[in-house]
């Protein structure tokens, strides 16, 4: 009986840690109507702001001083995995000012973008991609899923701008790396679709 109670307590503890809790912050607005301190924002699947944690698909943690975001802001999937991170100069309208990284729910990188005072910087974005790709190629992380994400994301950045000749080798390499990892998933199928669409 005692072992059964202990086992039940362990199971309850494990299940609580499996489902990440959305952090709660004061969300303090001062007398002048300005955000101060740590905030938690809840979002539905379409990124509409909501108030019920049970309905949240994403959430954002941000720090403010006098209504201005401070430091790096992060968005999270409900399970606690980072979905997006970057520096926001202003909320409404949103002005980005840093390297912006988007992640898949498994934590692998989906996309890199670089902004300077709200303006997208394609050349700085390319520099970041190329530096990271060089790092991956030079070490044992060569066949990780996030390397596939880097290659395909940069390839798609080129496609979006009509630079198909630059995109093709990146998408082909992404397919080759994905084959090493395993082709029985949607990433591989999406890579093939991307390459075929640009052929």
Nearest to 150 by CA among 116, 101, 90: 101
pLDDT at residue 95 in the model? 96
Residue reference for tokens 């998408």: 171
Show me where the domains of the chain are located.
18-97, 122-199
In this predicted structure, what is the pLDDT of residue 11? 44
**Is 122-199 a CATH 1.25.40 domain?**
yes
pLDDT tens, position by position, 169-178:
998 988 888 8
For 22-72, how does the pLDDT look when each residue is reduced to its tens digit (9 = 90+)?
Answer: 999 999 999 999 999 999 999 999 999 999 999 999 999 999 999 999 999
**Residues of 164-178 as b/e, b for ≥16 C-beta within 10 angstroms?**
eeebbebbebbbebb
CB 90 within 8 A of CB 84: no
| pLDDT at residue number 5 | 44
What pLDDT score does 13 carry? Answer: 46
> What is the tens place of the pLDDT at every residue in 138-160?
876 555 677 888 888 889 889 98
For strand 49-50 and strand 68-77, is the pairing parallel, antiparallel, or unpaired? Answer: unpaired
pLDDT at 48 (0 to 100): 96
- Pick from 121, 179, 174, 115: which is nearest to 149 by CA? 174
């Amino acid at each position: 009986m005692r072992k059964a109670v202990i086992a039940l307590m362990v199971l309850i503890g494990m299940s609580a840690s499996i489902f990440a809790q959305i952090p709660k912050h004061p969300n303090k607005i001062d007398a002048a109507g300005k955000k101060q301190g740590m905030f938690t924002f809840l979002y539905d699947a379409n990124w509409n702001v909501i108030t019920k944690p049970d309905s949240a698909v994403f959430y954002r943690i941000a720090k403010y001083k006098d209504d201005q975001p401070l430091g790096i802001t992060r968005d999270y999937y409900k399970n606690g995995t980072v979905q997006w991170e970057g520096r926001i100069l202003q909320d409404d309208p949103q002005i980005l000012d840093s390297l912006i990284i988007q992640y898949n729910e498994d934590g692998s990188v989906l996309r890199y973008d670089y902004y300077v005072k709200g303006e997208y910087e394609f050349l700085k974005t390319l520099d970041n991609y190329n530096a990271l790709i060089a790092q991956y190629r030079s070490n044992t992380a060569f066949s990780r899923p996030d390397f596939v994400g880097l290659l395909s994301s940069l390839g798609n950045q080129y496609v979006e701008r009509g630079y198909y000749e630059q995109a093709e080798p990146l998408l082909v390499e992404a397919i080759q790396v994905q084959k090493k990892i395993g082709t029985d998933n949607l990433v591989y199928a999406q890579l093939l679709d991307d390459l075929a669409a640009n052929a």
